[in-house]
């Protein structure tokens, strides 16, 4: 964008994207909060968010939360692409959106193959999210972006440390913190794009 006329609709698009993320991420975490209220015992702590996809009372809520999150990520990817964000970012976001449904379609308690497929999809999704955050951190050097990445990283470390059989049952906490950091990183993209567009005026 090189003119005020081009920058104006772009800024509006960025604000709309922020609102889209705020609504869809809020609904996702609301669904997750409901799942926590229903069940937050040792099995949930040990198996993480995935537990809510196999525990019958919480399956509908998790499906709803994942679906809303996937729609938000898919639409955000398209809007970020239109805003000129690197291909890596918007492609990763769309892959994460698809990955959410793969996680739902591969319940980990349905045998070794499903468990392997589920874990592979989970690790792939986390790496895609990390890639988006790293690209953000490489392009946007602000305190808030750095803090958002730090939150995501802390969540990732907690989740990774919980995977081995070390009786360190904080997988659920780690995954939730990771998702909070990731959502925050996406919001920071919108503020960075708005600042960029403002500088072009």
In degrees to the nearest 10, what's the CA dihedral of 186, 190, 191, 195?
140
> What is this structure's pTM?
0.90
Q: In degrees rounded to 5, what are phi and psi of residue 195?
A: -65, -40
pLDDT of 200 higher than 80: no
Residue 142's pLDDT band, with cuts at 50, 70 and 90, is confident
Q: What is the pLDDT of residue 151?
A: 97
The pLDDT of 37-56, averaged and rounded, is 94
pLDDT of 4 higher than 50: no
CA distances to 4, 63, 166, 168, 186 from 118, rounded to whole Å, are 48, 15, 21, 21, 25
The pLDDT of 75-92, averaged and rounded, is 92
Q: In degrees rounded to 5, what are phi and psi of residue 111?
A: 105, 165
Nearest to 29 by CA among 187, 176, 133: 176
Q: Each residue of 160-186: pLDDT tens digit?
A: 988 775 677 899 999 999 999 999 999
């Amino acid at each position: 964008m090189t003119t005020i006329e081009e920058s104006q609709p772009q800024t509006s698009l960025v604000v709309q994207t922020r609102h889209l993320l705020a609504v869809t991420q809020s609904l996702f975490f609301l669904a997750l909060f409901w799942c926590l209220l229903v069940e937050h015992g040792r099995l949930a702590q040990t198996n993480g968010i995935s537990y809510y996809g196999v525990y019958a009372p919480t399956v509908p809520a998790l499906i709803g939360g994942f679906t809303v999150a996937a729609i938000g990520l898919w639409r955000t990817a398209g809007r970020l692409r239109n805003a000129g964000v690197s291909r890596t970012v918007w492609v990763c976001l769309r892959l994460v959106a698809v990955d959410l449904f793969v996680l739902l379609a591969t319940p980990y308690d349905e045998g070794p193959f499903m468990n392997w497929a589920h874990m592979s999809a989970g690790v792939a999704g986390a790496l895609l999210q990390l890639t988006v955050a790293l690209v953000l951190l490489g392009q946007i050097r602000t305190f808030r972006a750095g803090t958002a990445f730090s939150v995501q990283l802390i969540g990732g470390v907690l989740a990774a440390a919980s995977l081995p059989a070390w009786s360190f049952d904080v997988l659920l906490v780690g995954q939730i913190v990771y998702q909070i950091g990731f959502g925050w990183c996406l919001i920071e993209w919108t503020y960075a794009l708005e600042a960029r567009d403002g500088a072009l005026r």
